Amino acid sequence: MKRCKKVAGVVLAAGIAATTVALGSGTVNAATQGYVTVKTKTGNMVQYIGKDGKPYTGLHYMSKDEGEKNPHYEFFDKNGYRILNWRYLTKADGLKTSQWSYFGTNGWMRTGWQAMGTKSNPDGKNKEHWSYFGNDGALRNGWQTMGTKTNPDGNNKVHWSYFGNNGWLRTGWQVMSTKTNPDGNNKSHWSYFGNNGWLRTGWQYLTAADGEKTPHWSYFGSNGWLRTGWQYLTAADGEKTPHWSYFGNDGWLRTGWQKIRSSSNPDGSNKEHWSYFGSNGWLVTGTQKIDGKTYVFDSKGWLTSGAPGTGSTTSQQGSVKDGCYTISPLSNSKTVIDIDSASTADGAKVQTFVNNNTFAQKFQIKHLGSEVYSVRTAVTIYGSGLTANGKIAAGTAIVQKKYTGADTQKWKIVSAGKDAYTFKTVDGKYVLDVSSGVAKLAKSTNSDSQKFKLTKTSGYMIRNNRKYYFNSNGQTPMIGIDVSKWNDDINWKAVKADGIGFAIIRTSYGSNSKWEWKTVENIKGCEANGIPYGVYFYSIATTNEEADKEVALVKKILGNYKPKLGVYIDIEDTAVYEKAFGNIYKDPARRKITNLTKRMANSLKASGYKVGVYANANYFNNVLYKNELPDVLWGAYYYTNPNSNPDGLKSPNTDWNLWQYSETGTVKGINGKVDMNTLIKKYW
């Protein structure tokens, strides 16, 4: 926009030779074109004077002829005043079709994706949301095919999104129907839209990131409808082998024993009966051995003989608890199951080897239902499992392969006496055998080389200078980062692709917001890419008043954002505390620092946030009264040489939830060094 100068009490565009203005009326007669600011009774207004000396009215394309380097649309009312904010444009405004459009503070018509309800887009809404405006500036609502030439939304993949009648991008679960959502369907149904607003189709494993307390599989048709009841899944659904599956009214894929009747489960039969679904959700028929007992099912999947044990309609808890284990044969207690050479490759040999407590000898055992388990390898960060190589038959070698959930990767772990277990194939015909020192399938001989002791274990693995912690409860290790303004612009898509599982974002330094200006940008980046995140603020409070101001600022910055990992209070500024309280290792300084931390934590908790404390090991052990703090702890303790410090944390620091182990990490999508963290025990 051209710079302006002031003439005769009003601001005129540079280059205007002569102008007369009736102050208060807004009447302008200009000899040359350009922007003018007119003082009116209601305040200053902007006009654009055309070559004919008259103000523009209606919708105008401001092009290079108007001196614009970036051509765009603006709208001027009947008095020639430029309009800001929302405007419902009609035929009277020169449009063929009426539409809502939005004009920013610079008067430019917005196009493309816009974050509305923010300071940058003062649209009068209290809740922040995304909206989309076409190239014509029209607010989109209803179903839209995004990622196309007609809707250049910056995504490479074509997908459906849905915008409500108010133009808000829908996310999460939505009840779709003709009356409330004009999707062209007469039947009300559920659909799910990811955090990026993309309509989910096909198989979806919904977790806490999707707002689900209990992770489960659901299936959405090609039209995005949530499937419920009986479904015959075929190649059209991405299935190589057609089969029946059943989804409850909640859309959850059913596994294990299920009691079926027509009134609640439309299987076409009037009689209540039992059916059984494998861990993959497939309906079984014919003769089946389940939990060591034989059952017969007819061609419809009805149980015709035997009894379903307890008759529970959900998967039963296995006799072996989920966890991280070493697996030792009774034939030689000094050896354990081991991945040859700690290889991460598909097809790596599984053998017995002397127990040296490396991650090549740690395995995640996870119950899948009906005493069936997966046994995944720590060396691949639980990405692969113990697999019968090719088929389930005597003599088949057991190798490491990427986990797909195939029957060759499933094991029935059954008791073989006190503290001993046998690993059986899912059909019960063969067992895991290590008599030759190499793992293979064999017929049961009840020998000690086919019986194993399971011992819970934990430990660390260093890979590519990243430190993964394997928790004894079998939780999959995660690496995270924490960032602030010092990390500049971040490509969060690249960050996720580089294996980062969570992030913690700084909101503020003390009670001054000027220290951070990328907080919301980083939060949006995490949400758009499905990265769980938390936030932290650097506290320098030494009084209750200062503490309250710091917390108030954090709440203001977060607004409606709900960080899943919670809000962390960063306690580390020794210089500030010693100046205010004296020696931080003595009372009353320790008491005052702890009390201020508790005060801030309680205020955040009262607002519904998870709350944690960040500090270094010295502060947790010698300054803060740790037993009075929130349960969630994030500790800093840097290692310099991983090989000389393989264990890293020692007691009592294992009560931390997160460990910041390095400040010199590298992550794709971030320029320079970044703080690295490993998850010790999950709390969200």
H/E segment holding residue 527:
helix 519-528
Among residues 229, 216, 144, 220, which one has the least CA distance to residue 182?
A: 144
Among residues 516, 520, 570, 560, which one has the least CA distance to residue 540?
A: 570
Model-level pTM?
A: 0.55
State the DSSP string of 442-473.
E-----GGG-EEEEE--EEEEETTEEEEE-TT
Give first-to-last CA distance, the chain, whole Å: 49
342 and 259, same structural domain?
no
305, 333, 355: which is the final residue of a domain?
305
**Phi, psi of 23, rounded to the nearest 5 degrees:** -60, 135
Nearest-angstrom CA–CA distance, 621 and 653: 9
Residue type, 273: H
Among residues 134, 116, 133, which one has the least CA distance to residue 125?
A: 116
CATH number of the domain at 57, please. 2.10.270
499 and 393, same structural domain?
no
476 and 448, same structural domain?
no
> Residue 244's domain spans which residues?
227-305
327 and 298, same structural domain?
no
67, 90, 109: which is the final residue of a domain?
109
Q: To 10 degrees, what angle do helices 574-581 and 589-606 make? A: 120
Contact indicator for 424, 431 with CB cutoff of 8 Å: yes
pLDDT at 392: 95
Among residues 434, 454, 452, which one has the least CA distance to residue 329?
A: 452
| 3-class secondary structure, 157 | coil
Q: What's the structural domain count of the chain?
A: 4
Among residues 137, 129, 79, which one has the least CA distance to residue 108?
A: 137
670 and 604, same structural domain?
yes
**Residue partners of 232: CB distance under 8 A and separation at least 6:** 242, 243, 244
489 and 370, same structural domain?
no
The structure tokens listed for 209 are: 């990131």
643 and 597, same structural domain?
yes
253, 277, 305: which is the final residue of a domain?
305
CATH number of the domain at 605, please. 3.20.20.80
pLDDT at 23: 31
Cis peptide before 215 (omega within 30 of 0): no
DSSP state of 142: E
Among residues 454, 259, 459, which one has the least CA distance to residue 373?
A: 454
Q: List average pLDDT for each run of 10 residues in the chain, which is 684 residues long.
A: 31 31 38 82 90 90 86 92 91 87 91 79 68 89 77 66 85 70 59 83 78 78 81 81 83 82 48 82 85 80 65 47 95 96 96 94 91 94 96 96 94 89 94 97 95 93 88 92 92 96 95 77 94 96 96 93 96 96 95 97 93 94 92 84 51 76 93 94 88
210 within a domain of the structure (yes/no): no
Give Cα separations from 572 to 538, 575, 579, 597, 617 (angstroms): 8, 9, 14, 11, 10
pLDDT at 631: 83
pLDDT at 449: 97
Residue type, 478: M
State the DSSP string of 23-56.
TBTTEEEESS-EEEEEEETTEEEEEEE-TTSSB-
395 and 350, same structural domain?
yes
